[in-house]
A and B are shown apart, each in its own frame.
Chain A
Amino acid sequence: MSGFRRVDACRRLGWEAVPARVLEAPATMYACALKSVGENSLERPLNLIETSRALRLLDRHAPGGTPPPEDASALGLPTHAGLTARLKTLCRMPEEVQAAVLDETLSFAMACEIGQLEEGPAVAFARLFRRLKTGLNKQREIVTLVSEIACRDGIDSTAVLSEPEMIRVQDAEDLDRSQKTQSIRRLVRRRRFPVLTAAEDHFHALRRRLKLGANLQLAPPRDFEGTRYTLTLSFERLEEVERLRAQLDALVRHPDFKALLTGKGRGFAGTTDP
C-alpha cells in the first residue's frame, strides 16, 4: 500500500527481511488509498504533481468515483471542485511539462493552459520556458501569440517555435535569459502583427530623423488608432525654452514631421532611414 521506495532501498542494501504491518481484512481499496496518501501528505507538504496523483488515486478507488471532501481535507488535500479538477490534469500531462512545474519554471496556471494543447506544442512550450525561466505574464503572451500565429497560418505551434530565427535566439550564446525572452517576444509579435510592427518601425525611423533630443518627445496615438500625437517638452530654465521654441519651429518645417502626421494610410512606409 505504501513504502515501495523504502522497500526498494532495502533490497538495494541487500536486506532479506523488513518489518511490515499488514492491514486487517477486509480493507477496501479506498481505505488503502487513504492510508497511502496520508502516509506522505501528513508527513510533509506534497508538491503539485504528487497532489495531482493523490487526488487521482482517491478518485479511482472512492465509492461512487468521488471521495467525500472531508476525507481529502483530513489528508491536507485541496477540496475546491474547480481547483481539484485542474490539479488532477497535471499528472496526465507530458513528462516535460510536469518537470517544468516541479522546477517552478512553469506556474500551475500556465501548466493548465498549455496542458490543453496537443502533446507536441505543450512539450515545446515547456522546454522553451525551462530555458527562459520567465514570468507568467510573458509566458502567457508568448503562448497566446504563437498559438494565434499557428491557427492563422494553419500550422502547428511547434513549427512556429522551430523557425530558424526562433532557434537562433534560443541557442544564442551571447544573450542571457532576459535578452532571449525579449528577442523571442519581439519575434513572435512581429510574426503575429507584421503590418503593425512594420508601421511602428517606419514611424520610429522617421522620428529618429527628426533628431528631437532629450527635451522634446513625440508620442503617436496608441496603436495609431487615434488621431492626436503628443509632444512633451521638458525644461528647467528659460534658455531651454528658447531653444525648444527654435526646435519646434524647425520641426514644423521638417518634411519628415509632415510625413509622420500624414503617412498613416501607407503605414508610414517609404520613409526608412537613408
Chain B
Amino acid sequence: MKIAALYIDARVADRPDAQRICRRLGVPAKTVADADEVYADVAAAEDPIGSGKQVLFLTRNKGAFLKECPGTRHYTCCGYRILHIGSYCTMDCSYCILQAYFHPPVLQYYVNHEDMANELERCLSEPDIHRIGTGEFTDSLIWEPWTDLSRTLAQRFARQDRAVLELKTKTVNIDGLLDVAHGRKTILAWSLNTEQVIRSEERGTASLDARLRAAARGAHAGYPIAFHFDPVVIGEGCEEDYRQVVERLFAAVPPERIVWISLGAFRFMPDLKPVVQRRFPDSRIVYGEFIAGLDGKARYFKPLRMKVLRSLAQAILGHAPQTCVYLCMEDDEVWRHALGFTPAERGGLARMLDEAAVRHCGLNAGSCRR
C-alpha cells in the first residue's frame, strides 16, 4: 500500500532523518503535538487497520530499542533480540498479528536514531553473542525506499564480531544493501510460503519467485541468507506444496549460504480471528483445526503440526543436512517428532543458533553461550 498521509511528531520535526523521509516520500506532512491526533484520524476510518497502513507517523521511540523476543515458557523460543525501529507494515497479510496488536495500528517509524545507536553500542560491547533483528514488529525492509537505516546498521554490524543483524522481509528491497561492506554480519532473511498461501493470504508482498531471486542476489553479494517458513499453513495438499517451495529454494540459493531455516506453524491470539473474518471474508486461514495452546494462542492440533513440520523438515534436510533447521515456538515433543532431537540435546536452541551464526557470519566463537 502507498503512504497517503504523513504525520510528524513536533518533537522530531527538525531532525535530519525526518526531513529526509519527508523529501523522499513526497507526501504533504502534518506536524502534530500529540500522537493521539494521529490515532484519532486512523481510528475514525471505516477500516482503521487498513487505513493505518497508509498513514506514516514519524516519531521517537520513548521506550527501549532493544527488546527480548516475546516467547512464552511453554514453548521453546529462539532467544532473538528485537531492534525496535518502527511498527506495523505496508503489506496486508491476513494472518498478521500486528492487526490485533496495536490499537489502532499505525505505521510508526522512530527517528531518534542516536538513542538507538547508544543502546546498540552498549549491546555490542557485551561479551555474549547476540542475534538481533528488526523484523518482529514490522517488515525489516519496507522502509528502504525512504530511509537508509538497514544500510547504516549493516555497516555498523560489519565493524564488530559479537552480533549478527537479521533483516527479515517479504519484499525484494535489497538494492541499497548490495554494495555495503557487510562483513557477513548481516543476514538477509525471507519469509517463505506456498504460492497458494502467498496468493490468498499475503496481499502486497513479493511473489515467491521474486523473493527467491532477491535471496540469490543477496547470496551473490556475499550475505549470509536465512529463510523462515512461518506461518506454515496446514491444509489439503500442503505437504507437497511446501516440498515444492523447498525445491525452488535450493535451486535459488546453495545450502552453504544458508545460516538457518525456521519452521513455525500458524498460531494466533484469539483477538485476531474476528479481524481476519471481517477484513478478509474470503480467507479460510482461521478455519483450520485449531485448539487453545498452552500459551492461550490458537494452534493447530498438535498431531497435525507434528506431521507437517516433520515432512517439511525432512524435505529441507534432504537438500541441506548440515543446515540449522529449527522450530519456532514448539515444545520438545514436536521437536523430537519433526527433527529427531530436542534443543536441550544440542545445548539449547539459542546455542544452536549462536553456533550457526559463528559458522556462517564469522562471529567470535569465544563469546558463544554455554
Contact = CB atoms under 8 A, between A and B. Distances in A.
A226 B293 CA distance: 8
Contacts of A154: 284
A225 B291 contact: yes
A266 B303 contact: yes
A88 to B, nearest CB: 22
B294 A224 contact: no
Nearest to B334: A265
Interface in A173-220: 192-196, 199
Nearest to A151: B287
Given A226-B294, A227-B333, A196 B287 contact: no
Nearest to A263: B303
- Interface size bucket, B side? 10 to 19
Question: Which of A154, A225, A266, A267 is most buried by chain B, counting CB atoms within 10 A of its CB?
Answer: A225
B337 interface: yes
A139 B294 CA distance: 27
A195 B301 CA distance: 8
A152 to B, nearest CB: 4
A264 B301 contact: no
A148 interface: yes
A148 B310 CA distance: 28
Interface string B276-315: 0000000010010101111000010111101100100000
A265 B303 contact: yes
A193 B301 contact: yes
Given A151-B284, A196-B289, A265 B307 contact: yes
Given A264-B333, A265-B337, A266-B303, A225 B287 contact: no
Interface string A58-89: 00000000000000000000000000000000
A149 B289 CA distance: 11
A195 B304 contact: yes
Contacts of B333: 227, 264
A14 to B, nearest CB: 58
Contacts of A224: 291, 301-303
Interface in B328-370: 331-333, 337
A223 B291 contact: yes
B293 A225 contact: yes
Contacts of B310: 265
Given A196-B289, A223-B291, A227-B333, A264 B284 contact: no
B292 A223 contact: yes
A244 B302 CA distance: 32
A37 B304 CA distance: 59
Given A151-B284, A152-B287, A194-B289, A199 B303 contact: yes
A148 B306 CA distance: 24
Interface string A135-166: 00000000000001101101000000000000
Interface string B48-85: 00000000000000000000000000000000000000
Nearest to B273: A148
A100 B284 CA distance: 31
Nearest to B295: A225
B8 to A, nearest CB: 37
Interface string B122-165: 00000000000000000000000000000000000000000000
Contacts of A225: 291-294, 299, 302
Interface string A105-143: 000000000000000000000000000000000000000
Nearest to B338: A265
A260 B194 CA distance: 34
Interface string A230-252: 00000000000000000000000
B303 A267 contact: yes
A224 B299 CA distance: 12
B82 to A, nearest CB: 27
A267 B307 CA distance: 9
A264 B287 contact: no
A206 to B, nearest CB: 14
B67 to A, nearest CB: 27
Contacts of B304: 195
Given A193-B301, A224-B301, A264 B291 contact: no
Contacts of B293: 225
Nearest to B303: A267
Contacts of A152: 284, 287
Given A227-B331, A265-B337, A196 B291 contact: yes
A189 to B, nearest CB: 11
Question: Which of B284, B292, B294, B301 is most buried by chain A, counting CB atoms within 10 A of its CB?
Answer: B301
B289 A195 contact: yes
Contacts of B307: 265-266
A23 to B, nearest CB: 44
Nearest to A193: B289
B311 to A, nearest CB: 11
A149 B332 CA distance: 32
A240 B309 CA distance: 45
B89 to A, nearest CB: 25
Nearest to B306: A265
A154 B324 CA distance: 39
Contacts of A199: 301, 303
A199 B331 CA distance: 20
B284 A196 contact: no
Nearest to A154: B284
Nearest to A199: B303
Shortest 6 CB-CB contacts between residues of A and residues of B: A152-B287, A223-B291, A267-B303, A265-B337, A265-B306, A196-B301
Given A224-B302, A227-B332, A266-B307, 11 more contacts: A151-B284, A151-B287, A193-B289, A199-B301, A222-B291, A222-B292, A223-B291, A265-B306, A265-B307, A265-B310, A265-B337
5 contacts: A151-B284, A195-B289, A227-B333, A265-B337, A267-B303
Interface of A: 148-149, 151-152, 154, 192-196, 199, 222-227, 264-267
